Structure 1
């Protein structure tokens, strides 16, 4: 209910009270001429004094006040309340509030739809960005793997080339040593023109025994056979070396025993002069 309607309902009791006061005033006005028109009551004649008890009995009893009948108030014609207008205003107010609520609802719904559309756009944009980032990372990883494979192949080629060059250098050095080592020793001996020492004799013997390998034309199987032959030859030489070392040790032992015997015999020999024993002079 609106404020105007509440004010109208509050003003209705005040209007009813004013109507009751007007009716009481009209009743008093109508009763006043009758009271004035009635003759005054004759004054009683003086009487002799009576006893007090009789006078008290003759005194009139007080009358009860007259209560006017309740009459429903009448609404003046000029101030009659229009309930249809109040109902109409109430309906208009309710309709206005309903329309306002509908407008607010549709506005909120429109706002939510716009937010939903914006959210969908953000999700789609992020999805496309993630797809682009994933594609970029995949491309980078593919390039990195390709570079690693290329680098590995390049290193393998360089190592294979280096091994081939090292093998060629080794073969060349071995062939040069086999071909020119003997001649180099002969030239060195001719230049020095001195007596050969034990080491030089060993070197000469080794140079005479050493032969050129000549392995440039050999295949893999022939190289294996040559390697086995050289291994057997080295084993044979090691065996001879061991035998010679053992023989030399035995000879040294025998020489030491003989030297000790001679020394012992020289101590007990009378009149023995100085002589050379075991390479020393006694």
Structure 2
């Protein structure tokens, strides 16, 4: 069927030409012509059941193929998810291990720094103590050396006085014997004087030893007293620092 409208208002329908320009045909309803069913060619009969069955088998095969593909893709996705979870867990464990190692290294480094600081402070305190001890020892040795030098010089002077005293005794003894020109001394007097001289030397030696011992004890007492006073000062400073 073919209908066309133009300037002439001509309609082609069923190979008939109708002029619809007139009022009569313009108000007429459109009538659907009778449809002619297609002719089945002569020959073998068409089995629609077979066609439908084949169509259903084809649709089933396509559906099964889609199901297989879907499950395969689903399995692949699940495997990927499991693999991803394993990677995440592994990465998390590696991360925690790295953090643990890093924290241990930080602790070791902090401990080394603290030990190094304590060692340096101890060495500095020891060095200062050695310097203070050397200074005190030097000052004490200077004072003690001067004292000992005075003591030895006094002992030498005293020895010279002893010699003069001995000579004076001998001269007085010779004077009593009326021997003014020749200071003759008998052998017994010489032996007696020698014994007295040796005894006096022993006494002077013992005196010197005792004086040296007393001086050493005084020095030790002074050193211990200074140490006690220094310790008391340090303890007082520490207590003040703790109170603050």
TM-score, length of structure 2 as denominator length? 0.45
Q: State the structure with bigger RCO (CA 8 A, min sep 6), 1 or 2.
A: 1
Relative to the length of structure 1, the TM-score reads: 0.40
